[in-house]
Structure 1
């Protein structure tokens, strides 16, 4: 089973993503911030990370930089899911392991499982 880590400070959205991914046969853990995410990444070893960029405390960009400092963690594919998709491009994020950029405003909840399967392939 594919392991997915959802990192988002929006508890409702994190639960929605978790339910959709579990329905699609994935094992899911979630973290509300970058600090808790780093602990989970090390113990859970996800195949894919779903990441919100803008969270309180160290944000998703800080986490992306941190992940790149580790050879093994820097190779985990990342799906960025943010309300600020118009302010940042996938090309800007690719050097940090980001494979896909989703706009929370326009996406359908079912898109998340499709996105995970796409970047894990």
Structure 2
């Protein structure tokens, strides 16, 4: 299964990718929403994991853009962020997010969330 990881931190992209690849997933990464949208056509993901705060296009803008496209309208989107506020969680849900995980993440919880939204 293909997963796209979107985060402006190279370290975080590497950590998340490593965890997912250990579990057998194919992973591509992007450093922000703009790059993610450029990659989507070549690598149609089954799940997208995105940060909230990123330059050029943040996770909320990315989620809205993905929900507006026919090819990604129903792809599960999990936010992986340091943010914990209820208002931001609500905004993410309203934009179309499927799940929310707070950094630092726990590998088994991340994998469980991916399995849950892709089942």
Question: TM-score, structure 2 length as denominator?
Answer: 0.91
CA distance in 2, matches of 1:60, 1:94: 12
Q: Could you tell me which residue of structure 1 aligns to residue 56 of structure 2?
A: 57
SS at match of 1:112: helix
Deviation at 1:112, TM superposition (A): 1.6
- What pairs with 1:9-88 in structure 2 (closer than 5 Å)? 9-87=8-86, 88=88
| Structure 2 unaligned spans of 5+ | none
Number of residue pairs matched by the alignment: 118
Q: CA RMSD in A?
A: 1.4
Q: Could you tell me which residue of structure 1 aligns to residue 112 of structure 2?
A: 114
| Structure 1 unaligned spans of 5+ | none
Question: TM-score, structure 1 length as denominator?
Answer: 0.89
Query: Post-superposition, which runs of at least 4 consecutive aligned residues in structure 1 deviate over 6 A?
Result: none
